[in-house]
Amino acid sequence: MLTIGIVVTTLAYIGGASFSSISGKSSFGGNSVAVLDVQGEIGDVSARATYDHNWTMHTINELIDDSSNKGIVIRVNSPGGSVYTSDELYEELMKYKSETKRPVYFYFQDQAASGGYYIAMAGDKIYANRNTWTGSIGVKTGTLYDVRGLLDKLGIKTNTITSGRNKAMGSMTTELTDEQREILQSLIDEAYNQFVRIVAKGRNMSESRVREIADGRVYSASQAKELGLIDGVCNEEDFFKTVRTFKGMKDVSFDYMEPEKEERVYDLLQQFIQSKSSSGKAAEYQKLIELSEDGNKFTVMYLADIKK
């Protein structure tokens, strides 16, 4: 994740994560294929996260040394996420494949867009539900706001002291220059070119062909299949039946794994909001949580704006 001049306030977990062993639901024993879910935005642990990046990375790493493990299935329902975490997960899956020579299979549920598609380039096979939206091969950033007019209206003056003419680049109280736009665009273009190379490698396409279809749009499952972005379209039950037809997969069991749930500050605040819903101030409390979680970000993301 590329972050420039940011102050971020994050609501933390209560308690720490323990990684002494693979945690969560599992029925290891015999030849098994681990089933992991990537649900929600792909990012570091945050107050509102449904995807636990640290747990997922750790679990994949531990599966490398598990002799009973014969592969991984990743079920994706995600609009994408940060460039950093999407690529980190992709690299961890590629490491798993390289060190174990075991396969990784992907199944796309409601949505597997942008970073959600990026991570699937580590897959040996990719299948999707017929109602899936996928693709969105492109890069975006967080919105940069210019609040100088508002501050003038309110009679508020600001002073920023920097060294280096581009140090305040992206500040809400400083005009973005043409040079700075070019600098930021170069970061976006670099991340886009990386995305193109990853897709070309993962789907055995030329980079020029990938660029033809990588204009940021989402594709339906049937469109993605026609373009060669996925291997098949089926429901989830048939997907698991298909996996068992692959080499070495006939007699495997599927072990559904998920992180243990921990009570978080965010969850406690949500409970507080619900208790105040009758007071008419629930919306104000909710906005406070969102502001404290999001902060003011300039993040380079493999993230689809259009979500199902």
Identify the CATH class of 32-145+177-262+297-303.
alpha beta
Tokens at 298, concatenated? 């300039």
* Global confidence as pTM: 0.79
| pLDDT at residue 74, rounded to an integer | 99
| pLDDT at residue 1, rounded to an integer | 32
Sign of the dihedral defined by the CA atoms of residues 225, 231, 73, 196, in that order: negative
| pLDDT at residue 46, rounded to an integer | 54
Domain ranges of the chain: 32-145+177-262+297-303
Helix spans in 122-260 (H): 148-154, 178-202, 207-213, 221-227, 236-243
Q: Alpha-carbon distance 42 to 232, whole Å?
A: 24
Query: Is-contact 55 62, C-beta < 8 A?
Result: no
Active site residue 206: no
Active site residue 208: no
Of the residues 114, 140, 225, 297, only one is catalytic, namely 114
| pLDDT at residue 286, rounded to an integer | 61
Kindly give, in sequence order, each residue whose CB lies less than 8 Å from that of residue 2, ignoring residues fewer than 6 positions away.
Answer: 83, 84, 187, 191, 299, 300
C-beta neighbour count of 157 within 10 angstroms: 8
Of the residues 95, 167, 201, 307, only one is catalytic, namely 167
| pLDDT at residue 30, rounded to an integer | 75
Predicted confidence pLDDT, tens digits, the chain (308 residues): 333 332 222 223 223 333 334 444 444 457 999 999 999 999 875 545 689 999 999 999 999 999 999 999 999 999 999 999 999 999 999 999 999 999 999 999 999 999 999 999 999 999 999 999 999 999 998 888 888 888 788 888 888 888 888 888 888 888 888 998 999 999 999 999 999 999 999 999 999 999 999 999 999 999 999 999 999 999 999 999 999 999 999 999 999 999 987 655 555 556 665 665 555 666 665 655 555 555 445 567 777 777 76
